[in-house]
Every structure is written in C-alpha cells, then in structure tokens.
Amino acid sequence: MNTHIALQPSPWRRWHALRAGLLLVAALAGPGAWAAPTDSADFVEQLRLARRLAAYAQANDDALAMLAAARVMAETGAARSRSDPQQPGEPLADAYFDRAEALARGRADLAALIADARAARLRHSRAGGDVRTSVVLGGGRLRVRLNYTLGQRARFGIDPDPTDSVTLRVLGPGQELLCELSTQREQRGYVECEWLPQQAGDTTILILNPNPRAVEVMYFHN
C-alpha cells in the first residue's frame, strides 16, 4: 500500500516566508500604504512590531529588517517623550533609519531604499504619541512629571513585558488620585489611563514594579 506523507514546512521555512512577506509590505509599500494607528491598541501593537523587528535586525546584522522596523515605527508617528532629556520630540523612526544605514554598510541598493523610505516619512508624517522606554528596578518605582493642557483629554499608558505585573498610578497637581490600573488584570498586557485635567500644574505619574527583578517598561502619552 502506498502511503503519501505530506511534508510540513520547517519552522525556519515558515519564518523565512513570514519575514519575506512582512518586509515586502513594511519596507517596499508605496506612500499610499502609510497609515497611522487608529487607536491605542493599534499604536501599541505597531510599536511592539517595530521593536521586535529592530531586535531581530540588530541580532542578525540585517539592514532590510531594520528598514522594515523603521517603516513600521514611522507609521506610528511616535516621537521621543517630552520627559526624555535627550532630544524630546524627535521621531523615533529616525534612530531606526540611522541603524538601517549603518547595517547597509554602503550597499547602493539598500541605501537607495532607505533614502526613499526616510523621504516618504517626511512627506507623510503624522502626529502620534510620545514614547519612552525605561527600566524600573525590582520593588521600585519610576516617577514621571508631565504638564497637560486644561480641559483637553489626557492619556498615559504603559506596556511592560506581558509576564510582568506593573501598576500605573496618576496623581493630579494636588496629589489627588486620578487613575490607577494594573497590567496583572489586563490580558492585553498594556494599560492606559485617561482623564480630563481640571487644575493647572504638573501631573505625577508613578510606574510601580512589585517584582523582585528589574522590568523594562515602554510608556506612551499625549
């Protein structure tokens, strides 16, 4: 009896196919494909994708993957948080494009792709959220102070590793509690506080890490 056995693609082949499709869409799509995230969930997912692609690209010396990461990051419109003392307001995609150029090492074909993508970002830039990544020590907390416009909806969110429980606490100018959320209760991993500022002055945001080890947390806000 003849038995036909269907060979399953290896994990490497599946990843290779996925990567090829992802890079083609992210790095080579025309300007019309640029799309800003529609809500916080999309924004966070695109940030995660860009960071994963960038980590892969750096580990594998892959300029094309880094270019894809830069394109995805550019689509978020994300910029350095105004709480960051180093170049606040700078588009986060710029650093990714710089890394892509460094990894390309003078290859003319990749250099042309990177230059075109960087120019497209400038032509089709959109306002996104302010973003910063920080490490919160085990059992410690990170304090961020921001000034929001009165009467305009304020937002602040955190996205730690899904396996880590982290608490976000927002205090008004009079140290009144405006919002408190824990990632432990959210299956999506990130949490986001929204409120309407009613008093002038700085808002204090606390990111609390109850874990015994340090945790890397990406936070985003308007």
- Over residues 23-44, the pLDDT tens digits come to 444 444 443 343 444 578 888 9
Region 181-207: mean pLDDT is: 88
Q: What is the mean pLDDT of the chain?
A: 81
Is the confidence at residue 158, as pLDDT, over 60? yes
**Cβ pair 96, 53 in contact under 8 A:** no
* Fold (CATH) for 132-221: Jelly Rolls (2.60.120)
Query: Would you call 208 exposed, middle or buried from its count of C-beta atoms within 10 A (0-12, 13-18, 19+)?
Result: middle
- Residue 107: predicted pLDDT: 87
Segment 100-132, tens digit of pLDDT: 999 998 788 888 888 888 887 665 555 568 999
**What residues contact 89, with CB distance under 8 A and at least 6 apart?**
79, 80, 82, 130
Considering the entire predicted model, what is its pTM?
A: 0.73
Q: State yes or no: pLDDT of 8 exceeds 50.
A: no
Q: What pLDDT, on a 0 to 100 scale, did the predictor assign at position 61?
A: 92
- Domain-wise residue ranges, the chain: 11-123, 132-221
- Edge-to-edge, what's the strand order for the sheet holding 202-208? 141-147, 202-208, 167-171, 177-182
Residue 164 has what pLDDT?
Answer: 85
Q: Spell out the residues 6+ positions from residue 128 whose beta carbon is closer than 8 angstroms to its own.
A: 36, 37, 43, 76, 77, 78, 79
